[in-house]
Amino acid sequence: MSLRVVFLGTSGSVPTLKRSLPSVVVQCSREQLMFDCGENVQRQMMQAKVSFHRKMIVLITHLHGDHVLGLPGLLQTMALMDRKEPVQIYGPAGLKDFLICTKETLNFGLTFPVEIFEIISEGVVCDEEEYRIITTKTNHAVESYAFAFVERPRPGKFYPKKALARGVVAGELWSKLQHGEEIKLPNDTVVRPSDVMGPTRSGRKIVYTGDTKPFESFASFAHGADLIIHDCTFDDALTEKAAVDGHSTPSQAASQAKAAHAKQLVLSHISARYPNANLLLDQARKVFPNSILAEDFMELELPLSE
């Protein structure tokens, strides 16, 4: 499947003219996942041409306003657009209260089901055909979760020549082998998928930290990620402030990516104090060279691994 990551909001706490409040969308097949849902997400979606109608799962890292205040307006707008498809929302305890109280005090109707799931433990939070979402607690000022999008492993490469050599002609039998079934030929020979295919290929992995200072178990949680989108609120000179507020600096984010043996790091949740955040990028690259700086409307295409 194709896998596109769209950055809708990349500031932390307070928006700026250049950066809206946190939200990242991962588009895969015919559905999309939204990580955090900051205020103004609707207009950011419009500008980035992110669909209001697709199958959608929203994952909220924590209940600070900058990460969640876009939700009521988004749901309301979806209803005004006559959405029918359900929206599933995962987040910490309290999420349900927040959504119910805004819905009740503002008295808005919905045209589609909203399914709210409060996270009660670490591990798999949703288990879809093509991927799973796994969560772990982070180290922030309030209960907060990081999420890993983990694509299921794909079958190995199919070698038509090997199939033909074993007398399997193109057509339905090839498809069965590609889908993991062993087949029996008219002459009773059994052909197994492993006879005509390469080794299973690992799926892609994207980790979204939300707000956090560094924590020990992150390396194993994010191990081998193709992409880590990491809190990078303050520069290295403000390491103490970052610790107090439960945030990370560039060197810390980069060390986490390095420890996890990630392929690429994106620094996000940038404080409004950096109109130009190149300083953050420079500090990260000293530790983890394949770092980039998140920008609103930046899009990354994650190629299939071979």
Q: Is 66 a catalytic residue?
A: yes
Q: Which of 36, 39, 151, 296 binds a copy of itself (CB under 8 A)?
A: 39
When asked if residue 66 is in the footprint of a copy of itself (CB under 8 A), the reply is yes
d(C-alpha 7, C-alpha 296), whole Å: 5
Q: 113-152 mask for a copy of itself (x: CB under 8 A)?
A: -----------------------------x----------
Q: Which is nearer to a copy of itself, 101 or 279 (CB)?
A: 101
Parallel, antiparallel or unpaired: strands 190-191 and 3-9: unpaired
* The two three-digit tokens of residue 293, written as one number: 């700086």
Q: Which of 82, 97, 127, 130 binds a copy of itself (CB under 8 A)?
A: 97
When asked if residue 63 is in the footprint of a copy of itself (CB under 8 A), the reply is yes
When asked if residue 106 is in the footprint of a copy of itself (CB under 8 A), the reply is yes
Minimum distance of a copy of itself from residue 42's CB (angstroms):
6
d(C-alpha 124, C-alpha 38), whole Å: 24
- The crossing angle, in degrees rounded to 10, of helices 71-80 and 41-48 is 60
When asked if residue 91 is in the footprint of a copy of itself (CB under 8 A), the reply is no
Cβ atoms 202, 18 nearer than 8 A: no
Minimum distance of a copy of itself from residue 35's CB (angstroms):
18
Cβ atoms 273, 241 nearer than 8 A: no
Query: Nearest Cα to 8, choosing from 24, 26, 32, 31?
Result: 24
Neighbours of 241 (CB within 10 A): 14
* The two three-digit tokens of residue 267, written as one number: 């620094």
Q: Which of 43, 137, 154, 263 binds a copy of itself (CB under 8 A)?
A: 43
What is the sign, positive or negative, of the torsion defined by CA atoms of 261, 262, 264, 265? negative
Q: Which residue is catalytic, options 66, 211, 226, 245?
A: 66
The site for a copy of itself (CB under 8 A) is made up of: 13-17, 20-21, 39-40, 42-43, 46-47, 63-66, 68-70, 72-73, 76-77, 80-81, 94, 97-98, 101-102, 105-108, 142
